[in-house]
Chain A
């Protein structure tokens, strides 16, 4: 069949390679990648952080030149004629490319003029965009004063001042709450439907990729898969199940099932354990001696299952991923195993005001020993403020707060000795080696002498960090940085562990490994408090609260929250559905 220009794909990548020099080594951020994207589709560029997504985006928009290979947009070589390409595309970089000291309207006007939208059309086009994004009431507000979700929508509006033939969105949903994420998707879908735009959107959330017509699955600079989500998940059909055993501890059930033969992947989802078998032929164990009333039902496969299967296949040949030992921390075991009702964190009418703005308004809750407790909320709901008060980084304006038996207002130092903290993006001293990081944090937690050496040795062994113990932490792969961050937080065997969005952007295997450790810790009586935007992480929690406008609007385990969203149209709501239903319910109640 002859190829006419109309038949050509929107984007064609042929063996594109781009290398960077880092820490004295040359790393291929994009490695001999070939792919094509058809016109009028939404394609998800999916992969964990560091997979090479942003580099690929920049190669497609001509912001970087490939070392080898060709990038063609609508049949035009991007490296040779970047300006011709740019007249037909729009691109939203990470962090949305907004001028923070310009207002919403000024940002729109700037980009409209730069994109050559005739002045006469401005009013009508802005009207359309503002209606679409709901930013109408905030025209005069400076972009820097918008919430994360609003910035994201303004960024999108600015890239869409003129409808392009192809739209590139680089991680538009990172750091943005599920409600804003869903709204963004609605805009993108409408755009594709009405204008036939081709969209390439990068994300590290695998569940988002399921909304795309096709998916490019990237890992370590290489393309693992390129297909539509349905055909990617097809091989997983008949291999995914949901197991529950009423009356039995979910974590224990998970531990048992994960060790059963024929199981490839087992993850906790609220009160259930999600299972993926190694092959379609082998059903999951229907009977385990320890779990008497085990119930197993088949569920639909997800993209993540396919990704995990691919990664496991790859990892099977080289060294197996280090399996976390069963007892990550020998401490606290004496007091553990008691499903005790002893309360470890208690917040009573906790309030924090900044000037005349009340960020957290009389919030009360309790967390028991050994519980994994999740703190959810939209951008600006008071989630981070609450979290910072709990770890003693911010003093409350009013209310009582007891952590590990200490009143945080009076004995903050003593309380801090009993907690471990792992910040978002695993903040470690990048210039120091893992061993130096561990030494420093153990000293900061007042360990010394033989005890300190023993703990450092334990951390290096336990987290598989020995081979790189003396390299610069900055150069470690993301998964290892995360392990090191957790190791640093565990040096002093804390009673309570605070985690801030601990596994977003991390590849699914590393995430599983991380949560296996966390569950083991909880099993030994460590209390874990998690704050996140990432619904996958919310599923791992025993109990959750959802904050909105500084107050708690829902609380309970994930099953209970999901039940709130269950309806005829939505018999099997996801955590994200539940989150949105709860927020909408709260907004409705306020409006009424």
Chain B
């Protein structure tokens, strides 16, 4: 059995590498997505346009505003002199944040009354709005503490000392780039495996394959293993890019990462084989892959946390291989997770892999026998 399977694997790899269309699928989109996701998919705040409406030009207000100017997250684009301009700038999106320093700011500060600073934020992107508020609060708090220290007003009874484990700079690239390993490995493996049978059906070679003495199991193996190989290779390339180019720390050992990767690729291959055994044309296979991929990526925790989803959707994500692999890849990269710690992720992946392969085998037998 194995020599025939091996021949099929070699043939499959040759066909994929020699066909310009599949070469494009393997190289073009992954590279493009790596760049676009790696740099474009960021939740960090950079040069947020800020307008300043300082109703109390004074040393104190200048000091406060200078702190915003000094932050890389903000960029002061306008100084206002009229209250009517505040909403206009927000509405037209010229500024995302307007800092309105109260008329009695210095007087209140000196008089130990709460000095008011109003922050007007554009809520159209609620995530940005929340982050802007968080950053601004931090800056204002720092100002307050320094002012108290300098003016002997007595310290606050307690201050927050915030630290983040694993990702002290809270760099969202560290979160997204390991996610791309999962994302692109899934896309490429699914397309390679999902289209492989449909391609042969369209070319008419599938019948030719079926009349050989190779059994359904051998054909399934010969179709699935190239996907596993290509998936592992693709993942390795992106892991290297993550470490060498994006400089994401890789804290854990490779063994738990590759164990998870193997199970993940096997599960995706199983799903690809299911698509393959159902699709008659490459277009159908492409649509099938798309229909699987969109929910699988959306509900994986790639960009938005699973914990925020409704309970029933959280439960449904358990069968999503990408969800589990994302925990593994981020765990190994950032938290240095070990094999034992990742066991709760391994077994669902193994189950999905086994289950999907069995279903694919059954579908395959039914369609070919």
Contact = CB atoms under 8 A, between A and B. Distances in A.
A contacts B directly (C-beta below 8 A): yes
A421 interface: yes
A414 B213 CA distance: 7
A114 B4 CA distance: 55
Contacts of A423: 204-205, 207-208
Interface in A444-458: 444-446, 448
Nearest to B10: A440
B18 A392 contact: no
A441 B212 contact: yes
B3 A448 contact: yes
Contact of B7 (A391, A428, A439): A439
Contact of A416 (B6, B14, B213, B369): B213
B3 A446 contact: yes
A436 interface: yes
Contacts of B11: 429, 432, 436, 440
A118 to B, nearest CB: 39
Interface residues of A, number: 31
A444 B209 contact: yes
Given A419-B211, A472-B18, A430 B203 contact: yes
A261 interface: no
B19 interface: yes
Q: Counting chain A CB atoms within 10 Å of each CB, which of B15, B205, B212, B213 scores highest? A: B212
B25 interface: no
Contacts of A414: 213
A391 B212 CA distance: 10
Nearest to A437: B11
B18 A431 contact: yes
Contacts of B211: 391-393, 416, 419, 421, 498
A237 interface: no
B31 interface: no
B24 interface: no
Contacts of B369: 395
A424 B6 CA distance: 27
Given A421-B207, A445-B213, A431 B19 contact: yes
B215 A443 contact: no
A393 B207 contact: yes
Contacts of A440: 7-8, 10-11
Given A395-B369, A443-B3, A431 B210 contact: no
Interface in A409-432: 413-414, 416-417, 419, 421, 423-425, 427-432
B351 interface: no
Given A424-B204, A425-B204, A446 B4 contact: yes
A444 B214 contact: yes
Contacts of A445: 212-213
Contact of B14 (A413, A417, A421, A436): A436
Given A432-B18, A443-B4, A472-B18, A427 B204 contact: yes
Interface string B276-307: 00000000000000000000000000000000
A436 B214 CA distance: 18
Interface string B250-289: 0000000000000000000000000000000000000000
Interface in A426-485: 427-432, 436, 439-441, 443-446, 448, 472
Interface string B1-36: 001101110110011001100000000000000000
Interface of B: 3-4, 6-8, 10-11, 14-15, 18-19, 203-205, 207-215, 369
